Amino acid sequence: MVFKIEERKMIDLGKTLKTLNLAFAEKIWRDDWNLSQKSFLQDKLFFLSSNFVLNSCQKLHMPREITEEFLQALSMFKDNEALQRLVWHCHFLLFQSSKDQTGKIGSWPMISKNIVHGDMFYAFVFLSGLPYIENLHRKRKIPDNITLDTLADLQLWMYEHRKKHGVFGLSQVPWLRHHFLGNIFRLGRLQFLFDTFPYDFHVFRNRKDKRIIMLAGKNMCFRQDGQFDGTNKIFDTTAWTSEFKVKGGYIYGNPISVHGKALTTLVKLSVSDWYPVLKQKDPVLGIHIPALGPMVHSECGNSFEQATKFFSKHFPERSIHAFTCVSWLLDSQFEKYLSTSSNIVRFIKEVYLHPVPKASDDQTFERVFGETIKDLNNASQNTTLQRIIIKNMQAGGRWRCGGCILFPEDLNWGVQIYRKNENLKQETFNNLQSH
Q: What one-character DSSP code corresponds to residue 79?
A: T
The 3-state secondary structure of 3-29, one letter per residue: CCHHHHHHHHHHHHHHHCCCHHHHHHH
Q: Is residue 292 part of a domain?
A: yes
131 and 204 together in one domain: no
Q: Is residue 373 part of a domain?
A: no
Count of CA atoms in the C-beta half-sphere (13 A) of 194: 15
216 and 229 together in one domain: yes
Helix axes 81-95, 173-180, angle to 10 degrees: 50
The boundaries of the domain holding residue 31 are 5-182
Give residues with Cβ within 8 angstroms of 158, minimum separation 6: 66, 123, 168, 169, 170
Q: Among 116, 113, 95, 114, which Cα is nearest to 105's?
A: 95
Query: Following DSSP, what letter does each residue of 305-373 receive, concatenated?
Result: HHHHHHHHHH-TT-----EEEEEGGG-TTHHHHS-TTSHHHHHHTTSEEE--TT--SHHHHHHHHSS--
Rg from Cα positions in the chain: 25
Q: How far apart are CA 421 and CA 101, in angstroms?
A: 43
Q: Among 338, 355, 342, which Cα is nearest to 402's?
A: 355
pLDDT in tens, the chain (435 residues): 333 444 444 458 999 999 999 999 999 999 899 999 999 999 999 999 999 999 999 999 999 999 999 999 999 999 999 999 999 999 999 999 988 877 789 999 999 889 999 999 999 999 999 999 999 999 999 999 999 999 999 999 999 999 999 999 999 999 999 999 999 999 999 999 999 999 999 999 999 999 999 999 999 999 999 999 999 999 999 999 999 999 999 999 999 999 999 999 999 999 999 999 999 999 999 999 998 889 999 999 999 999 999 999 999 999 999 999 999 999 999 999 999 999 999 999 999 999 999 999 999 998 888 878 888 888 888 899 999 999 999 899 999 999 999 999 999 999 999 999 876 544 444 445 444
Q: Is residue 370 part of a domain?
A: no
**pTM of this prediction?**
0.91
Q: Which of 155, 182, 209 is the last residue of a domain?
A: 182
174 and 228 together in one domain: no
CA angle at 60 for the pair 56 and 62, rounded to the nearest 5°:
95
How distant, in Å, are the alpha carbons of 118, 176, 210, 338 from that of 148?
Answer: 26, 14, 38, 34
47 and 127 together in one domain: yes
157 and 246 together in one domain: no
198 and 112 together in one domain: no
Are β-strands 221-222 and 240-241 bridged in parallel, bridged antiparallel, or unpaired?
antiparallel
pLDDT at 1 (0 to 100)? 35
Q: Is 367 exposed, middle or buried (0-12, 13-18, 19+ CB in 10 A)?
A: middle
Q: How far apart are CA 31 and CA 22, in angstroms?
A: 16
Q: Which of 138, 164, 182 is the last residue of a domain?
A: 182
Q: Is residue 115 part of a domain?
A: yes
Number of domains into which the chain is organized = 2
The one-letter amino acid at 171: S
pLDDT at 103 (0 to 100)? 78
Q: Is 307 exposed, middle or buried (0-12, 13-18, 19+ CB in 10 A)?
A: buried
Q: Which of 137, 162, 182 is the last residue of a domain?
A: 182
Q: Is residue 60 part of a domain?
A: yes
pLDDT at 263 (0 to 100)? 97
97 and 191 together in one domain: no
